[in-house]
Amino acid sequence: MKLPAFVTDLTLPPLEYQCKLRQWSQEMRTSSPIIWDEDSANWIVFRYEDVVRVQSDYATFSSEGTVPGGNGSSIVEMDPPRHKQMRSLITLAFSARTVVEMTPQIEEIVDTLLESLCARDEIDWMSDFANPLPVIVIARMLGLPHEEWPTYKRWTDAIINMTSESEVANLGLREHFARAIDERYRNPGGTDILSRLIAAEVDGKGLEYEDVMGFCFTLLIAGNITTTNVLGNAMLCFDEHPEELTRLQRHPELLPTAVEEILRYMGPFRAGPNGLIEGRIAQTDLRLYDHIVRKGDHVQVNRLSANFDERHFHEPERFDCGRTPNRHQSFGQGIHFCIGAPLARLEIKLALGKLLSKFQHIHILHKEPLRQTPSLLIFGPQRVPLSLQPA
């Protein structure tokens, strides 16, 4: 079958797209929990249990060869045992504890960005805050000149969307990363993330140069688009459910669960076939419902559908800042669970917490229809005009 036209329609307002997507996904979970998409030549699964299985059972559903144009240097396209070795080395340098230690630095960046908004009647939440925050944070982690964040943002967008500038962007980022990596090879012993990554060893073995380079690309690109779009989607969620924004302002202790609910309700990736994030390749013939998936077939997961699966979530259509438990699939599952999840969660929690403490009234100015980010991979608003009134 062919996917509905709206799935790739970038002209739809974001909330209209989400509404259509939730409705279609619910229909698929009920009547067709696995489909063959003719245009992309991919199977797509919709139910929570199948989304979990495809992402977790790496012996049956492999990640190798799933990244278009990939050369195997990114951890997202690795299977064990190589993946286990890479993940162990990266975790030594990029652990949850290491991320928590960055809290003062991230708070400083958040405060600086928010302070610049105080005297303005209207801002664009995306260009003024959601875009620069994660790029500046990661640039500092990798030892890049953080003032060049607009260039890094432009380059990562070009690579993600495979525009005409993507080759130039790849070369530009590689040159910047190479300078930072070479500096740390010449002067070891630093405490920043990149220095720790280069120094990390498991069983006497460390990362090869290209592995370090691959991690830099993965961190900057994936860490950038995830946090930026979740911050944008948070404003969409609060605009659609203002009572939950009021609830959160009155009960800031709900912030951690609110972050998880934003991730579940309006995740940062689209539902179309996407090998970069969600693809796997079947390693054997197997039956899923009434279909035979052949060895070598590409299998995709619809994470948004999983996040609204009524078999797993109570009242999934309700946006609830206090929802618990909330085992959403927006960060994946299994060995490829997003290694940058602690960083993204910390950035989003600090950003929203400080926004709510500094500003009393926060609402979107609907002077014109909101537009989606022009990408078939990621989902979020392109611009979010906000009116902010200081507390």
pLDDT in tens, 217-243: 989 998 899 999 999 999 999 999 999
At 202 the pLDDT is 84
DSSP for 299-348? Answer: EEE-HHHHHT-TTTSSSTTS--TT--S---STT--GGGS-TTHHHHHHHH
Above 90 in pLDDT, residue 40?
Answer: no
Rg (CA), the chain: 21
Above 70 in pLDDT, residue 69?
Answer: no
Reported as half-sphere exposure (CB side, CA atoms, 13 A), residue 74 has a value of 23
What number is the average pLDDT over the span 18-30? 96
The candidate with the shortest Cα–Cα distance to 354, out of 115, 193, 122, 135, is 115
pLDDT in tens, 288-331: 999 999 999 999 999 999 999 999 999 999 999 999 999 999 99
3-state secondary structure of 381: strand
- Token reading at 164: 């005409």
Confidence tier at 92 by pLDDT (50, 70, 90): confident
- Longest CA pairwise span in the chain (Å): 62
Mean pLDDT of the chain: 92
Helix then strand then coil, % of the chain, to nearest 5: 55, 10, 35
Asked if 115 and 363 touch (Cβ cutoff 8 Å), the reply is no
What number is the average pLDDT over the span 67-92? 82
- Sorted by sequence, the CB contacts under 8 Å of residue 251 that are 6+ apart come out as none
Asked if 145 and 123 touch (Cβ cutoff 8 Å), the reply is no
At 276 the pLDDT is 44
3-state secondary structure of 273: coil
Domains in the chain with CATH codes: 5-390 (1.10.630.10)
Residue 176 sits at the vertex; the CA angle it makes with 172 and 181, to the nearest 5 degrees, is 140
At 263 the pLDDT is 98
Above 90 in pLDDT, residue 96?
Answer: no
Confidence tier at 70 by pLDDT (50, 70, 90): low
Above 80 in pLDDT, residue 185?
Answer: yes
Neighbours of 164 (CB within 10 A): 7
pLDDT in tens, 370-386: 999 988 888 999 999 99
Q: Where are the alpha helices (DSSP H) in 142-201?
A: 149-161, 166-186, 193-199
DSSP 235: H
What number is the average pLDDT over the span 158-166? 89
pLDDT in tens, 260-284: 999 999 999 886 655 445 689 999 9
What is the dihedral sign for C-alpha 97, 64, 333, 256?
positive
Asked if 282 and 63 touch (Cβ cutoff 8 Å), the reply is no
Confidence tier at 121 by pLDDT (50, 70, 90): confident
Above 80 in pLDDT, residue 176?
Answer: yes
Asked if 257 and 326 touch (Cβ cutoff 8 Å), the reply is yes
The candidate with the shortest Cα–Cα distance to 143, out of 101, 192, 108, 70, is 192
Above 70 in pLDDT, residue 339?
Answer: yes
Above 80 in pLDDT, residue 175?
Answer: yes
180 φ, ψ (degrees, to nearest 5): -70, -40
User: Rounded to an integer, what distance in angstroms lies between the CA atom of residue 195 and that of residue 346?
Assistant: 22
Asked if 107 and 350 touch (Cβ cutoff 8 Å), the reply is yes
Confidence tier at 168 by pLDDT (50, 70, 90): very high
